Each structure stands twice: as C-alpha cells, then as structure tokens.
C-alpha cells in the first residue's frame, strides 16, 4: 500500500500535502506540474489510483513525498516496482532532487546500484547491525568483511593462512595483499573483484601474485566474458575479461591478482 487516496486523482494525491499547508492554488499547480514531469506522470495526472499499476502508484507516492520539500525524507525501497529503465532514470532524479533541495534522505534499498548512485554515505546492514559504513568509494574499494565484499559488487573470496604481515598462502602460492597487517600463521581471507583479475592463456613473465587455474566454463555477455576457473586447491573463482578473450573449457590459464587489489578482510 502506498497510502494513496482512492477517490482522488494523481494530481490531487500529489498536491495533498501542499493543500493542507494552504499554499495558493497557482503555486500548487506549478509545483505539481514540475514534480509530475520529474516522475514521468504527466499523462496519468487525471487518473485514479485504482487505474494505475503498482509501479505507477509508487511514483505517485514518491512525487507526493518530494513535493513538500521535506527537511528529512525517509524512503523504503521507493523504486522497487519500477521497470529497469525507469528505475535507473529515477535513481539519478532522486539524487538530483537531493542535490537541488539539500534535504537529508534516509534511503533503504537492497539494490547496490541504487545505493552507489544516490548516497553520500552507505551503511551496510547485516542481521540488524551496521557491518560497515562509509562513502560509496570506501565501501566498494575497501570492504572490511566477507559479507560487505560479497554484498557490494561481485567479489571473489580467497581463504588461506597468513605467512607474514602482508602475504597469504593460497593454493600453494604466496600472495601479497593490502589492508590490515596479518599475524603469521593465522587463518586469513582476502577479496578481489572479478574484473580486477587478469586472465592469460600463457604464463606471465612476472610471477608475483600469479595463480595457475583451469577453465571450468565461460559465458559470452556481449561486451565481456564471465569465466569460472578452478585453482589447484579446488577453490573456484569468477573472472570477467574482454569479450574478445576466449579460452576453451578445460584449458590451463594463469591469473594475475594485483597486490593493491587483494584486500584483507577482518570479519
């Protein structure tokens, strides 16, 4: 339920907050036209809620909230019922409106792209607790836990044993990594994004942070290929490469993991 008045048109529902504040009719009409334009509702202005789809009703509720220029705006999955194209467009509109009117927004979403697009500060929640909070760049580039690394973006998690302060043993190789200093001998995990791994059909001349692997499968995605590869210890990783890089299933490959992209996880 979006708490829309069933006996009111879209225009009247959106204008309701301004009407309660006794704003003059000319100003109300002007602001309603503007917000209906932003939320792509102009053609539906004289329809009633019962004549709208769920996504359209959601846009009406969002327009009604935005039109009163709130100091603080609470949004709980506001774009979840929109189609993919409109949802992407509305992300930027929500951000633009925030930048224009400078109200504080608490925005709850399970969509990582929405969070990255709209937020100055992201708090990643896990079982009702804040797992990590920071800027979109910090959350993406420096996840502190396996949960955050998996939830924000697509990460591979490699588990092994710390060799010294900044090296971990994985699949028989020593990988240099960045982040929290390690304690030698302790179980350790690192994360690395799928697109940050370089895949090669020939062994690289520089051997640092190189792991041999076998291609399990790969899928053509148009502008890229998504590989599943298996390390010597049986662990499987996903690697995203350019579309033109095609290595047959079963072939041996070498993976280069840049040390600055191998992030130590602390939880």
Which portions of the chain are predicted below pLDDT 50? none
Which residue in 27, 106, 37 sits closest to 68, CA to CA? 27
| pLDDT confidence of residue 89 | 82
Phi, psi angle pair for 44, to nearest 5°: -105, 10
| pLDDT confidence of residue 206 | 84
What pTM was estimated for this model as a whole? 0.77
| pLDDT confidence of residue 81 | 76
3-state secondary structure of 27: helix
CATH T-level topology, domain 10-120: Rossmann fold (3.40.50)
| pLDDT confidence of residue 38 | 84
CB 107 within 8 A of CB 121: no
CATH T-level topology, domain 158-265: OB fold (Dihydrolipoamide Acetyltransferase, E2P) (2.40.50)
Task: Report, in this order, helix, strand and coil percent for the chain, each rounded to 5.
Answer: 35, 30, 35
| pLDDT confidence of residue 11 | 97
| pLDDT confidence of residue 1 | 60
pLDDT tens, 207-254?
A: 889 999 999 999 999 999 999 999 999 999 999 999 999 999 999 999
| pLDDT confidence of residue 36 | 94
| pLDDT confidence of residue 153 | 84
Q: Where do the domains of the chain lie? A: 10-120, 158-265
| pLDDT confidence of residue 87 | 84
| pLDDT confidence of residue 12 | 97
């Amino acid at each position: 339920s979006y708490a829309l008045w069933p006996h009111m048109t879209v225009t009247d529902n959106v204008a309701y907050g301004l009407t309660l504040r006794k704003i003059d009719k000319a100003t109300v009409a002007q602001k309603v036209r503007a917000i209906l334009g932003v939320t792509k509702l102009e053609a539906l202005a004289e329809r009633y809620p019962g004549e709208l789809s769920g996504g359209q009703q959601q846009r009406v509720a969002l327009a009604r909230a935005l039109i009163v220029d709130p100091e603080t705006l609470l949004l709980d999955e506001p774009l979840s019922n929109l189609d993919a194209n409109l949802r992407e467009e509305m992300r930027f509109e929500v951000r633009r409106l925030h930048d224009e009117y400078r109200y504080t927004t608490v925005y709850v979403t399970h969509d990582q792209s929405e969070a990255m697009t709209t937020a100055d500060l992201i708090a990643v929640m896990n079982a009702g607790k804040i797992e990590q909070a920071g800027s979109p760049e910090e959350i993406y580039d420096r996840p502190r836990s396996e949960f955050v690394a998996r939830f924000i973006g697509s990460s591979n998690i490699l588990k092994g044993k710390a060799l010294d302060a900044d090296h971990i043993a994985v699949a028989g190789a020593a990988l240099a990594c960045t982040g929290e200093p390690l304690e030698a001998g302790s179980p350790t995990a690192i994360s690395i994004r799928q697109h940050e791994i370089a895949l090669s059909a020939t062994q690289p001349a520089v051997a640092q942070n190189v792991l041999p692997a076998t291609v399990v499968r790969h899928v053509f995605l148009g502008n890229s290929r998504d590989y599943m590869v298996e390390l010597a210890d049986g662990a499987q990783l996903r690697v995203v490469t350019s579309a033109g890089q095609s290595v047959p299933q079963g072939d041996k490959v070498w993976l280069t993991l840049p040390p600055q992209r191998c992030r130590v996880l602390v939880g």
